[in-house]
């Protein structure tokens, strides 16, 4: 969108107002959890009240509701404000949204962010005061360490021959750097508890076996599940996932119903509905995994062969960790 070369209205001064003079906007759609208010308060205590509250000519808050709550938490008597008396009523309401939304559209340079966090940590500064939690900081620092590791030689990356006798047995737990891998039945909640210990998963992604569409290695102990028994068989899988999923986590299920006698089987539909109606999951959305280069379906005698597979998104709670703008990208 082109922007005309004009001189915008600018605030000329900052005023100090008592807290009781400020009037919160009753229809403010932006929410502030107690945890976030505590973070804002800690930031103000560390850096000072660097970001004044924006108000209109009637003392109503346009931007800064979270900062007001933090000021009350800190026991402050007054706060800095900037009066935006040049906005009309419609502009005031629009800017209340824009002030929050425009900042969300910015991104991060992950490499530079990791460097900044590392240097702050090296200086002994508590980087959580910048709004990042300890796990996020650890993940960024770990990414720097991984990038600093020398590339493996071809010999180190070579895949060894499969031994005549399997090394891994059911119940074996492998520690692979920061990762954990266990051999066993994913429906066994005791086994899953060993894998996760006291941790919780933010995301669980599973692509379970098809019903009777394929033959599996009999030595694995898994036998194809008839479609009419699939939902009952999968119940323990969903329960195991629930036992380790964080309250605000997501569970993604990738499964495509096979066709019999020229028509799709309905057991996957039954499975999706069972998650919602029997097991209490929230059905968040459905995604398509494109599997061919051109997205054009193949053909059978009486139907198309889909060039995609469905991925079903479930959660236990309404509010989940979901930041699509940070992980999404356009397809090639």
Residues 54 and 64: their CA atoms lie apart, in Å, by 6
Instruction: Look at residue 326 in the predicted model and tell me its pLDDT.
Output: 66
Q: At what angle do helices 134-148 and 110-122 cross, to 10 degrees?
A: 110
| Residues 24 and 81 occupy one common structural domain | yes
Is 96 within a domain? yes
DSSP 219-273: GGT--PPPHHHHHHHHHHHHHHHHHHEEEEEEEEEE----EETTEE-SHHHHHHH
Domain-embedded: residue 226: yes
Residues 268, 297: one domain?
yes
State how many domains the chain has: 4
Do 314 and 218 sit in the same domain of this protein?
yes
Judgement on whether residues 219 and 297 belong to the same structural domain of the protein = yes
> In this structure, what CATH number is given to the domain that contains residue 283?
3.40.50.150
Regarding pTM above 0.95, the answer is no
**Per-residue pLDDT for the chain (332 aa), expressed as one digit of tens each?**
555 566 678 878 899 999 999 999 999 998 899 989 999 999 999 999 999 999 998 999 999 999 999 999 999 999 999 999 899 999 999 999 998 888 888 888 888 888 888 888 888 888 888 888 888 888 877 777 666 555 555 666 677 777 777 788 889 999 998 899 999 888 898 999 999 998 999 999 999 988 877 777 776 677 888 889 999 999 999 999 999 999 999 999 999 887 777 778 899 999 999 999 999 999 999 998 887 655 555 555 566 667 788 999 999 999 888 877 666 666 55
CB neighbour class for 76 (10 Å; exposed up to 12, middle 13-18, buried from 19): middle
Res 299: pLDDT: 54
The domain containing residue 189 runs over which residues?
A: 170-199
**Residue 65 sits in the same domain as residue 81:** yes
pLDDT at 121: 83
- Residue 37: both structure tokens together: 């208010």
| Residue that is written with structure tokens 């899988």 in the block | 237
What is the model's pLDDT at position 292? 65
Last residue within a domain, chosen from 104, 120, 153: 104
CATH (domain of 53): 3.90.1530.10
User: Residue 212's pLDDT is what?
Assistant: 79
Residue that is written with structure tokens 């915008």 in the block: 8
Residue 54 lies in a domain: yes
In a domain, 3, yes or no: no
Per the domain annotation, does 319 fall within a domain? yes
Residues 41 and 70 in one domain: yes
Residue 202 confidence (pLDDT) = 92
Cα 318–chain centre separation: 13
């Amino acid at each position: 969108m082109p922007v005309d070369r004009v001189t915008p209205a600018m605030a000329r001064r900052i005023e100090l107002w008592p807290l009781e003079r400020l009037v919160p906007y009753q229809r403010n759609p932006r929410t502030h959890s107690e945890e976030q208010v505590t973070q804002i308060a800690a930031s103000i205590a560390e850096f000072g009240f660097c970001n004044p509250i924006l108000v209109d000519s009637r003392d109503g808050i346009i931007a800064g509701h979270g900062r007001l709550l933090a000021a009350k938490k800190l026991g402050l008597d007054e706060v800095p404000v900037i009066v935006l008396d040049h906005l009309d009523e419609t502009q005031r309401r629009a800017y209340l949204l824009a002030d929050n939304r425009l900042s969300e559209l910015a991104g991060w340079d992950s490499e530079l962010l990791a460097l900044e966090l590392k240097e702050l940590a090296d200086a002994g500064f508590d980087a959580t005061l910048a709004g990042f939690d300890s796990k996020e900081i650890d993940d960024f620092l770990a990414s720097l360490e991984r990038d600093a590791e020398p590339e493996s030689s071809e010999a180190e990356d070579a895949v060894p021959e499969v031994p005549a006798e399997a090394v891994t047995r059911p119940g074996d737990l492998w520690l692979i750097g920061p990762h954990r891998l266990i051999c066993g039945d994913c429906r066994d909640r005791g086994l899953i508890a060993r894998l996760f210990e006291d941790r919780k998963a933010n995301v669980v992604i599973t692509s379970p076996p098809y019903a009777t569409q394929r033959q599996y290695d009999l030595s694995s102990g898994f036998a194809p599940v008839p479609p009419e028994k699939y939902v009952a068989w999968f119940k323990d899988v969903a329960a195991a996932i629930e036992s380790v999923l964080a309250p605000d986590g997501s569970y993604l299920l990738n499964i495509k119903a096979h066709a019999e006698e020229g028509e799709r089987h309905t057991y996957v539909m039954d499975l999706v509905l069972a998650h919602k109606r029997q097991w209490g999951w929230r059905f968040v959305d459905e995604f398509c995994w494109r599997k061919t280069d051109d997205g054009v379906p193949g053909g059978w005698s009486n139907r198309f062969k889909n060039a995609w597979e469905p991925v079903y998104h479930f959660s236990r709670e309404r509010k989940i960790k979901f930041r699509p703008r940070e992980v999404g990208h356009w397809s090639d």
